[in-house]
Amino acid sequence: MSQSTDLSWHQNVEENGRQPPLSLQDVHVSYRTRKGSVQAVRGVTLDLQAGESLALIGESGSGKTTLGLGIVRLLVDTAEVSPGKIIYRRDGREVDVLSLADGPMREFRWRDCAMVFQSALNAFNPVLKVWDQVWDTAKAHRWNNREEVRERFLDLLRFVQLDPSRVIDAYAHELSGGMRQRTLLAISLLLDPQILILDEPTTALDILTQRTIIDLLRKLKEDLHFTMLFISHDLAIAAELADRVATMYAGQVVELGPVEDIFYRPRHPYSLGLIRAVPTVTGGFEELSSIPGSPPDLINLPTGCKFHPRCPYASERCSSEEPKLERVGDNHFAACWHTDAVQDDIERNGLRGKKRS
C-alpha cells in the first residue's frame, strides 16, 4: 500500500526529530470581492502533531473551513493564500504545500492528506456507483490493481460498520445520510493518508447517526492513532473527540490548548462565552447566556482585538492593540489582554451558569 509519493521533497534538516506532520506558519487567506478583500484567515500558526486530534471550533465566518480547504488547496479562485507556509512532513522529509505544482498537489491530496467534506451528498458524483468512484480515485493515484483496491475498500467498509454488498454498487442517493458519511470516511481512508481533515463531520445528521460517526472517529483516534483535524461549530464534537482545541474568531486562533484546559479553564472571553452559551443534556438545569452582538464584518474589521466590541472585559487597550497568543499554562495559549479577568470571573461565578433543581 505504501507506494512512494512523488512530491518534490526537501530533505528535512532534523531528520530524527519528531516533527509534526503538518505545520501552519502565519497562514493568511483572503477572498477578493467587489466590496473589498475579505480577511478570512489572518495569521494562523499551528502544529498538528502525529497521532493527535485537533479541533478547530468557531462560529460561521470564523475562518475554520477556509483554513481546512486552504490546507488541501481547494479554495475558490478568488481566494489568495499569502503570506504564509503550510509545511507537510512525511518520512523525515518536508515540503511547502503552497509551492507544489498541480501534479504533486493531486498526489498530496488523498494520499497524504484526505478531507471529508461537510455535505456528504455533494461529495459524491450522483451518476456513479460508489465502487466506480472508488476505482476512479485509485486509478487517479496510479493504483491499478483492481482486486487489491476492492479488497482494501471492502475492509474499510467493514471498518466503518457498513454492509459492503449494500453499499458498493449503490448510488449516493440510495444511501441514508449516516451511511453516506461513513462511506465517505471509508473512501477518504482508501489511500492510507497520514492526515485526515474532517469538516463538520456530524452536522446535519440525526442524533443516533451522529453517535455512530462519533464512535467510529473515536476508534480511528484511539485504536489507530490517526492524525485528525476536526472543523466544527459544535463544541460537543470537540469535547468528544479532540486532544487539543483551537478556538477561532475572525480568522485567528484566539485560544489553543488541551481539551480539558479549553473546557474547564478557558482564558479567552470568547471560549468562555461559547461554553456558557451551550446547554448540556444530562444534569440539572443551567442558566445560559449568549454573547452579545454579532460576528465582525471581515472586510472592515474592528481595530485592536477583533472580539472587543462583544467582550464584557474590554478595556481601552483592547480597542487599539491587538493581543497575540501568549502562554497561559502548559501548552495552553490565549490571545487576550484580560486572561486574568476571565480566570477571576470563573472563580467567582463558576464556569457555567447557575444551576436550578
Partner 1 sequence: MTPILQLRNVTRYFGSGRDRVTAVDSISLDIEPGEIVCLVGESGCGKSTTGRMIVGLLPPSDGQILYQGQDISAMDKPDYQQYRRAVQIIHQDPYASLNPTQTVRQMIMTPLLRHQSQRSAQNGSGGGRRSRRRDVERRAAELLEIVDLTPVAEFLDKYPHQLSGGQRQRVSVARALTVEPKFIVADEAVSMVDVSIRVSLLNMLSRLKEEFDVTFLFITHDLALAKYFAWEGRITVMYLGRIVEEGPTPRLITDSRHPYTQALLGAVPEADPELAKKKTHIELRSAEIPSLLNLPAGCTFHPRCPYIAEGECDTVVPPLERISEGGSVACPVRMSEPTQII
| Smallest separation, CB 136 to partner 1 (Å) | 27
Distance CA 166, CA 50 (A): 34
Terminal-to-terminal C-alpha distance of the chain: 57
Q: Closer to partner 1 at the Cβ: 143 or 249?
A: 249
**Amino acid sitting at position 144:** N
User: Residue 230's closest CA among 54, 86, 33, 51?
Assistant: 54
Q: For residue 20, count other CB atoms closer than 10 A to its CB.
A: 17
Q: Does 211 bind partner 1 (CB under 8 A)?
A: yes
Site map 39..68 versus partner 1, x via CB under 8 A: --------------------xx--------
Q: Closer to partner 1 at the Cβ: 100 or 238?
A: 238
Exactly one of 181, 212, 247, 271 binds partner 1 (CB under 8 A); that residue is 212
Q: Closer to partner 1 at the Cβ: 71 or 342?
A: 342
Distance CA 122, CA 256 (A): 32
| Smallest separation, CB 283 to partner 1 (Å) | 7
- Quick check: 304 and 294 in contact, CB under 8 A? no
- Region binding partner 1 by CB under 8 A among candidate stretches 66-74, 125-133, 230-238, 341-349: 230-238
H or E element in which residue 77 lies: none
Q: Closer to partner 1 at the Cβ: 126 or 283?
A: 283
Exactly one of 26, 260, 321, 326 binds partner 1 (CB under 8 A); that residue is 260
Helices (H), the chain: 64-71, 102-111, 120-123, 130-140, 146-159, 164-167, 177-188, 207-222, 235-241, 259-264, 269-277, 316-320, 339-349
Q: Closer to partner 1 at the Cβ: 104 or 257?
A: 257
Exactly one of 119, 209, 315, 319 binds partner 1 (CB under 8 A); that residue is 209
| Smallest separation, CB 280 to partner 1 (Å) | 5
Taking 3-state DSSP, the helix, strand and coil percentages for the chain, each rounded to the nearest 5, stand at 35, 25, 40
Q: Does 356 bind partner 1 (CB under 8 A)?
A: yes
Q: Which residues contact 264 (CB under 8 A, 6 or more apart)?
A: 351
Q: Does 259 bind partner 1 (CB under 8 A)?
A: yes
User: Residue 71's closest CA among 192, 198, 256, 182?
Assistant: 198
| Smallest separation, CB 112 to partner 1 (Å) | 29
Residues 144-173 that bind partner 1 (CB under 8 A): 161
Task: Write the DSSP symbol of residue 128.
Answer: S
- Region binding partner 1 by CB under 8 A among candidate stretches 43-51, 147-155, 192-200, 278-286: 278-286
Count of helix runs (H) and strand runs (E) in the chain: 13, 16
Site map 280..319 versus partner 1, x via CB under 8 A: xxxxxx--xxxxx-xx------------------------
Q: Does 33 bind partner 1 (CB under 8 A)?
A: no
DSSP β-ladder status, 53-57 and 227-232: parallel
Q: Give the binding-site size for partner 1 (rule: CB under 8 A).
A: 48
| Smallest separation, CB 274 to partner 1 (Å) | 6
Q: Which long-range contacts (CB under 8 A, 24 or more apart) does 340-349 make?
A: 341/313, 342/266, 342/267, 342/268, 342/269, 342/272, 342/313, 343/265, 343/267, 345/272, 345/313, 346/265, 346/266, 346/272
Q: Does 239 bind partner 1 (CB under 8 A)?
A: yes
Binding site for partner 1 (CB under 8 A): 59-60, 161, 176, 178-179, 202, 206-212, 214-215, 233-240, 259-260, 263-264, 273-275, 277-285, 288-292, 294-295, 356
